[in-house]
Amino acid sequence: MSEASGPRTLRIEGAFRLAGGRSLEGVDVAYETFGTLSPNGDNAVLVCHALSGDAHVATGPGLDGATCPGWWDSLVGPGLAIDTARYFVVCANVLGGCSGTTGPGSIDPETGNRWGLRFPLVTIEDMVDVEARLLDALGIERLLAVVGGSMGGMQALAWARRYPERTDAVIAAATTSRLGAQAIAFNEVGRSAIIADPRFAGGDYAPDAQPADGLAIARMVGHITYLSQDGMREKFGRRLRDREDHAFDFVSEFEVESYLAYQGRRFVERFDADTYLYMTKAMDYFDWQPPAGTDMPRFLVTSFTSDWLFPTAQAREIVRALLSRGAELTFAEIDSPYGHDAFLLETEQQGALIGAFLERILADRNRCAERRVS
């Protein structure tokens, strides 16, 4: 059967040591799977989600059991680039997140209270360690590929460095080996807006009384960096909303203003302010070096022409670092007007690249297996 598992949770018992030096006593990992693991467990693809994503990468039952669409439905599904009729797709909510995996909104077992900012800072590498433990539990020794865009791409890169022996391939889209000063600065603006909101209360707000204004502003800033200048011009231009001429007051009147305000409000409904701090900090800290050994996965690195958050120049830095270690890789800059969001929106070109890359990885693996048999 090639079905979606729906939301599941794995409990990792015992002390889970983090890069920052602290430990968590037990970690819950919320995850979903799509498709069927082959008898010898060799068809698994791990998808890593980005800042505001979650485990629900493709259509399947949600928390209430009803079927709902996934955030990467254009690429993950039966017959698609990441073909759930052939591959066993695993996607986990990241450590520090707010969709079921242990994070600042979880209960600190020592105090019985919500962690808030007492939760330890987590790194991209910590997220990857949790994913590795999940694969252990699922009986997946080696992945066909680990795939992700943006912060998901950072996790994919971290996999290559941390567990090079556990994956045949790494697909890193719209990502960077380290944030530049501008991206850190935008993250800091978002964090400042959250922390300045009086309802933030040092991170100890009640779950139903979030610092909504601060989180919405953080999302507005973020959202601008996900779109391209030309894309915004085409989408909104200077069009006014529901009126012919200027109002000469401070009510939102340009379409782009109400769109952003709407994005901010909607985000607050499904995301957590403390988690926003932890995720952006994990990205700021990420500072990746390519795998040191010679047994390295193969790489597909993609960037998008209009992505100015993690522009092609930063993808080229990844490529240069990998080539200097003799890695085998494919690099493609995809032409797109969608800015950073292109990794979520560009179906055709991205799908063709990822689909063909996975086919090649699978074919090579089968060839090697045949050779070993004969």
- Return the active site residues: 150, 307, 340
Tokens of 304: 């998008």
* Residue 182 binds a second copy, judged by CB under 8 A: yes
Q: Which is nearer to a second copy, 18 or 135 (by Cβ)?
A: 18
* Residue 342 binds a second copy, judged by CB under 8 A: no
* Residue 287 binds a second copy, judged by CB under 8 A: yes
Residue 48 CA to residue 172 CA, distance in Å, equals 10
Q: Which is nearer to a second copy, 173 or 277 (by Cβ)?
A: 277
* Residue 281 binds a second copy, judged by CB under 8 A: yes
| Nearest distance in Å: CB 359, a second copy | 36
Tokens of 185: 């600065």
Non-local (6+) Cβ contacts of 81 within 8 A are: 75, 350, 351, 352, 353, 354, 355, 358
Tokens of 121: 């800072």
Between β-strands 23-34 and 8-17, what pairing exists: parallel, antiparallel or unpaired?
antiparallel
Q: Residue 77 burial by CB count (10 A; 0-12/13-18/19+): exposed, middle or buried? A: buried
Q: Which of 242, 250, 293, 295 binds a second copy (CB under 8 A)?
A: 250
Query: For residue 147, what are the β-bridge partners?
Result: 47, 171
Non-local (6+) Cβ contacts of 262 within 8 A are: none
309 to 53, 256, 315, 346: CA distances (angstroms)? 17, 19, 11, 17
Phi, psi (rounded to 5 degrees) for 207: -55, -25
* Residue 118 binds a second copy, judged by CB under 8 A: no
* Residue 370 binds a second copy, judged by CB under 8 A: no
| Nearest distance in Å: CB 185, a second copy | 5
Total residues binding a second copy (CB under 8 A): 56
Residue 194 CA to residue 64 CA, distance in Å, equals 30
Residue 55 CA to residue 268 CA, distance in Å, equals 18
Binding region for a second copy (CB under 8 A) out of 49-57, 77-85, 154-162, 213-221: 213-221
Q: Which is nearer to a second copy, 42 or 197 (by Cβ)?
A: 197
Binding mask 129-168 for a second copy (x = CB under 8 A): ----------------------------------------
* Residue 192 binds a second copy, judged by CB under 8 A: yes
Count of other CB atoms within 10 angstroms of residue 88: 22
Binding region for a second copy (CB under 8 A) out of 29-37, 60-68, 153-161, 231-239: 231-239
Q: Which is nearer to a second copy, 243 or 246 (by Cβ)?
A: 246
Phi, psi (rounded to 5 degrees) for 322: -70, -45
* Residue 108 binds a second copy, judged by CB under 8 A: no
* Residue 242 binds a second copy, judged by CB under 8 A: no
Residue 266 CA to residue 105 CA, distance in Å, equals 19
| Nearest distance in Å: CB 219, a second copy | 10
* Residue 78 binds a second copy, judged by CB under 8 A: no
Residue type present at position 121: L
Q: Which of 91, 98, 121, 172 binds a second copy (CB under 8 A)?
A: 121
Tell me the HSE value of 266 on the side-chain side, using a 13 A CA sphere: 9
Non-local (6+) Cβ contacts of 206 within 8 A are: none
What is the SS3 assignment for 339?
A: helix
Binding region for a second copy (CB under 8 A) out of 116-124, 146-154, 297-305, 357-365: 116-124
* Residue 252 binds a second copy, judged by CB under 8 A: yes
Residues making contact with a second copy (CB under 8 A): 20-22, 117, 120-121, 178-182, 184-186, 188-189, 191-193, 195-198, 213-214, 216-217, 220-221, 224, 227, 229, 232-233, 235-238, 246, 248-250, 252, 254, 256-257, 260-261, 264, 277, 281, 284-285, 287, 308, 311
